[in-house]
Amino acid sequence: MKQEEIVEREFLSILVLNPKIGFDLLQIKPKYLQNPKNKLLMEAIMKSYKEHGVVDISQLVAYSPHITPELVTDVITDDYLPLTNMRKQFMVCQIEILNRYKKKVINDLLQKMNKGEMSCDDYLKNMAIINEIEIKVSSDYLTFEELEENIKDEKCRIILNNFQDLNSMLELSKGDFLTIGANTGAGKSGLLLNLMNDLMGRYQCIYFNMEMNKSTIYKRMISIRADVPIYNIEKDTSDYQKELIQKAMKSIVESKVIVEHKATYIDEIKNVLKVCKKDGTHTVLFLDHIGIIKSRGNKSQYEQMTDIAKQLRQICLDYDCTIIAACQLNRSSYSADELSLSMLKDSGELENSSSKVILLYRDKEDKKEQPDSYKAKMILSIEKNRNGKLGQVICEYDKTKQIFKEVTKWN
């Protein structure tokens, strides 16, 4: 489905399902919509509201033979309703619809002038009229309560209980976009799962799994929660370990974590949020990993990643959520003496859009001395930190259990 159709459906859904907001803010006309059926539907909605003071869906079908029950139910659905900032999103829809309409009209005028069907003076007069059409946007004044609520650390902060040094330095806050960059096999997924294990139960956690099969990710989740080696989860083991595994599974279920395996497009991620987002609960999204996310349309890899990075930043703002995402580093990182922000793969926009960036890598001396050890000394290097500190946190990474633990001294 094209982006303009999604915007028009979101606009119409708000207008029907929340007419108090929709008609209070309505500034555009049916003719501004691109889809002819959507134009008819908007006319019917406006007529119904004017005559009855409410939008009577049964009256919409009676307005025109081109408006069928299937059309109404397909276009107008809760799936298109934004979960937060409905007033703001309705205004965004109107602005986008109007801009597309103006662009189409300007192109039509230009074609007529080029074909000699319109004089240059008439073209300029019509252009002036089109340019005068605009959406008037008003903003709410700040209140004392809103200021007070948003300056208190305890209300804004996301506390990492299992990573005290990282928690102190990173100062992760609600609405942050945290990117974790690392090379293949460095433990990006493991670190994401450890952070989710820390936060699940206290926040709504949604994990977008784009690389591992279900069996692998579930075993890792259980292993981290139970503190039991992965290879013991499916094999016969001691009664004690069986009990730990059962408790871990029960705890994961009770935390109501969501693991999504099929969403790979950015609009699919938004749709999962719209369906699953819990009211009154802050949501933390885990993306594993950004390089696999796609956006619609024919774009280069660089353009896609730029668009995705911007949309992820906007998701944090629009849906009251925090994003923690893994990102592959580019080829230059494998031969570099030191890692840097510029090595985040495919787009500089990812560095710009992220409020915080951690580069994850194994300590060189440890790798040299113990290349095959199942326990590795890992460096979590905070390279970008809006409102926080830069620096390094040392962790022990137990590959058999996929567990990251902070250490003050490495043996």
User: Which tens digits make up the pLDDT trace of 230-242?
Assistant: 988 877 678 888 8
The architecture CATH gives domain 149-406: 3-Layer(aba) Sandwich (3.40)
Q: What is the pLDDT of residue 147?
A: 76
Q: What is the pLDDT of residue 239?
A: 86
Distance CA 208, CA 286 (A): 6
Rounding to the nearest 10 degrees, give the CA dihedral for residues 56, 61, 63, 67: 130
- Helix, strand, coil percentages in the chain from 3-state DSSP, rounded to 5: 50, 15, 30
Query: Which whole number is the average pLDDT over 212-229?
Result: 94
Tokens of 193: 């799962």
pTM: 0.69
Identity (one letter) of the amino acid at 369?
E
- Tokens 């709504």 map to which residue? 204
What's the Rg (C-alpha) of the chain? 26
What ranges in 133-212 are assigned the alpha helix state H?
144-151, 153-156, 164-170, 188-199
Q: Is the pLDDT of residue 153 over 70?
A: no
Q: What is the pLDDT of residue 78?
A: 64
Query: Which whole number is the average pLDDT over 313-319?
Result: 87
Q: What is the pLDDT of residue 140?
A: 63
Summarize pLDDT for 353-379 with one digit per residue, the tens. 899 999 999 988 888 888 778 899 999
Cα–Cα distances in Å, from 88 out to 95, 137, 161, 275? 11, 9, 35, 19
Q: Confidence band (pLDDT; 50, 70, 90) for 211? A: confident
Summarize pLDDT for 260-276 with one digit per residue, the tens. 998 888 988 988 888 78
| Residue extent(s) of CATH 1.10.860.10 domains in the chain | 3-132
| Residue extent(s) of CATH 3.40.50.300 domains in the chain | 149-406
Q: What is the pLDDT of residue 154?
A: 60
Q: Per mean pLDDT, which range of 96-100, 208-212, 368-372 is the poorest?
A: 368-372
b/e per residue 105-130 (b: at least 16 CB within 10 A): beeebeeebeeeebeeeebeebbeee
Which is more confidently placed, 410 or 239?
239
Summarize pLDDT for 28-86 with one digit per residue, the tens. 999 999 999 999 999 999 999 988 888 888 888 888 888 888 888 887 776 666 666 78
The residue among 248, 167, 246 whose CA lies nearest residue 200 is: 248
**359, 384 contact by CB (below 8 A):** no
Q: What is the pLDDT of residue 395?
A: 95
What sign has the CA pseudo-torsion 43, 45, 48, 52?
negative
CATH topology of domain 3-132: DNAb Helicase; Chain A (1.10.860)
Q: Per mean pLDDT, which range of 150-164, 174-188, 373-387 is the poorest?
A: 150-164
The residue among 209, 346, 344 whose CA lies nearest residue 288 is: 209
